[in-house]
Amino acid sequence: MTQKEIHNQRLVNEANARALSHLTRRHFLKESAMGLGALALGALLPGCGIGTSGGAGLDGGIVFDPANPLAPKLPMFPGKAKSVIYLHMAGAPSQLELFDFKPDLMKLDGQDCPDSLLKGKRFAFIRGVPKMLGPQAHFAQRGQSGAWVSDYLPHFSTVVDEVAFLKAVTTDQFNHAPAQLMMHTGTGRLGRPSIGSWVTYGLGSENQNLPGFVVLTSGGYLPDAGKSVWGSGFLPSVYQGVQCRSEGDPVLFIRDPDGMSRDLRKASIDAINEVNKQEYKEYNDPEILSRISQYELAYRMQISVPDVMDINDEPAYIHEMYGTKPGKASFANNVLLARKLVEKGVRFVQLFDWGWDSHGTDPSTSVDMGLIKKCKEVDRAKTALLLDLKQRGLLDETLVVWGGEFGRTPMMENRDGKQNPFKGRDHHVEAFTIWMAGGGIKKGASYGETDEIGYAAISGKTTAFDIQATILNQLGFDHTKFTFPFQGRPFRLTDVAGKVIDDVVA
């Protein structure tokens, strides 16, 4: 017997001994009583259509294989998109300075907000009667499609013909955390799976050496809703987003500690898996198989993740194109990583960039200064992303979504009734702009309109549910049939709402 085998045997014996110590007389009696009940219940339930795992209907025909949770699975119909890159500007960028051109608002600049816009409404910070605030940017129509984009985004202005704008998106949450949860999990409260989890649960992932759902953050802070925006909720936990870092080790503790060789690492994982397999034989808990596969994925990731997460091997002209500086945590670096991950067959890449909350309480949050700086940080990179995906033949099968969690008011914020020192706008739920590109989205389209001052949607109103329904549709899922049984009823990402936005689907 080799040293390794002796070691493994010892671990197995230890696990066995511990398992035996659980089996007391009391335990035996309890188990047998429960067991009889469970037997009876097992015979009863299939008649009610419950407990027939994998049966179509309750779960849309998706079978969860705990031993191989990320294996690619079939969509309901052939999807146009294979993967998604979702660029979330946490804090909510001002649509009135970027895409929603309102010359009439300019004329009202500095006037008191009419009572009709305030009556019965609630705002996060505006109190009393605020002043109207005209657009702070210069707008022009861009490209063949004639989309209005401001001069805050000079690079993006050159690629508008690849993009479909949704200009009348609405939400029902006016604080960051619930609104972010709404966009990504379909509810303003905690506990539901995020869209990336739903997608990897439904489709698995192409690359078996990388996580299927990767999250990258920039801007210095996590999104306000915290890690719940990439949580797996009631879906099996393997589908939660894996947060990677663009500075230092891409995934914490991915490197072997000093003195630990790769062979030893492999040996210890084998031993742990051996114990887990014994454990599985005993308890038949599918989460144990899940754990075994996670250990194996982690081991493979030790090789593949540092490789794919290293942007140093990209040529200089690509770095120039994206505006990346290797070794720093930045949105640009994350965008380049997102392209690399999608190229390697990762299903869902979620980027959060913090710092778009333009209240006007200081220069950095003003719509005429701080917002420009944020735009500069993302403009080049997101433009490069679209062009780079396009030239690699990947844009047709990669859906790119850009947006925030809500919009901003046409009024200037007056926190606690006092004029803010800089030009800023409050949170606004009745209208904001989101754009989508690639993945079978109509090029150069624009859907939805707001009134003459950009306060509310007047046509083509859409919601977070509609955007989620559209993303799922592009991946090959009917959002009304894509469900997961939980607490006695099938759950959907879009709950009981949502409609695919056909006007932006090619």
Of the candidates 134, 189, 156, the residue with the CA atom closest to the CA atom of residue 89? 156
The nearer residue to other proteins, 360 or 410, going by C-beta atoms, is 360
Q: Does 135 bind other proteins (CB under 8 A)?
A: no
Rounded to an integer, what distance in angstroms lies between the CA atom of residue 246 and that of residue 148?
33
Least Å from the CB of residue 35 to other proteins: 37
The nearer residue to other proteins, 16 or 208, going by C-beta atoms, is 208
Rounded to an integer, what distance in angstroms lies between the CA atom of residue 358 and that of residue 347?
32
Number of amino acids touching other proteins (CB under 8 A): 57
Q: Does 326 bind other proteins (CB under 8 A)?
A: no
Q: Does 468 bind other proteins (CB under 8 A)?
A: no
Q: Does 55 bind other proteins (CB under 8 A)?
A: no
The gap from C-alpha 93 to its chain's centroid, in whole angstroms, comes to 17
Q: Does 361 bind other proteins (CB under 8 A)?
A: yes
Single-letter code of the amino acid located at 231 = G
Of the candidates 197, 194, 169, the residue with the CA atom closest to the CA atom of residue 467? 169
Which residue has 């859409």 as its token pair?
Answer: 462
Least Å from the CB of residue 1 to other proteins: 32
| Of the residues 362, 417, 419, 495, which one makes contact with other proteins according to CB under 8 A | 362
Rounded to an integer, what distance in angstroms lies between the CA atom of residue 30 and that of residue 166?
58
Q: Return the H-helix or E-strand segment holding 292.
A: helix 286-308
Q: Which stretch binds other proteins (CB under 8 A): 68-76, 110-118, 181-189, 431-439?
A: 68-76
Q: How many residues in the chain?
A: 506
Residues 215-274 that bind other proteins (CB under 8 A): 219-221
59 contacts: CB under 8 Å, gap ≥ 6: 483, 484, 485, 490
Burial of 418 (0-12, 13-18, 19+ CB in 10 A): exposed
Least Å from the CB of residue 396 to other proteins: 7
25 contacts: CB under 8 Å, gap ≥ 6: none
Q: Does 162 bind other proteins (CB under 8 A)?
A: no
The nearer residue to other proteins, 377 or 426, going by C-beta atoms, is 377
4 contacts: CB under 8 Å, gap ≥ 6: 267
Single-letter code of the amino acid located at 209 = N
Interaction mask 364-403, other proteins, x per CB under 8 A: xx----x--xx-xx--x--xx--xx-xxxx--x-------
Q: Does 503 bind other proteins (CB under 8 A)?
A: yes
Least Å from the CB of residue 173 to other proteins: 18
Q: Which stretch binds other proteins (CB under 8 A): 98-106, 132-140, 142-150, 356-364?
A: 356-364
Burial of 487 (0-12, 13-18, 19+ CB in 10 A): exposed
9 touches 274 (CB < 8 A): no
Output DSSP code: residue 221: S
Single-letter code of the amino acid located at 377 = E
| Of the residues 93, 178, 193, 476, which one makes contact with other proteins according to CB under 8 A | 476
The nearer residue to other proteins, 15 or 124, going by C-beta atoms, is 124
The nearer residue to other proteins, 110 or 363, going by C-beta atoms, is 363
Q: Which stretch binds other proteins (CB under 8 A): 160-168, 202-210, 257-265, 268-276?
A: 202-210
| Of the residues 59, 70, 76, 350, which one makes contact with other proteins according to CB under 8 A | 76
Residue 427: strand, helix, or coil? strand
Q: Which residues bind other proteins (CB under 8 A)?
A: 61, 72-80, 154-155, 206-209, 219-221, 317, 320-323, 343-345, 355, 357, 359, 361-365, 370, 373-374, 376-377, 380, 383-384, 387-388, 390-393, 396, 473, 476, 478, 496, 502-503, 505
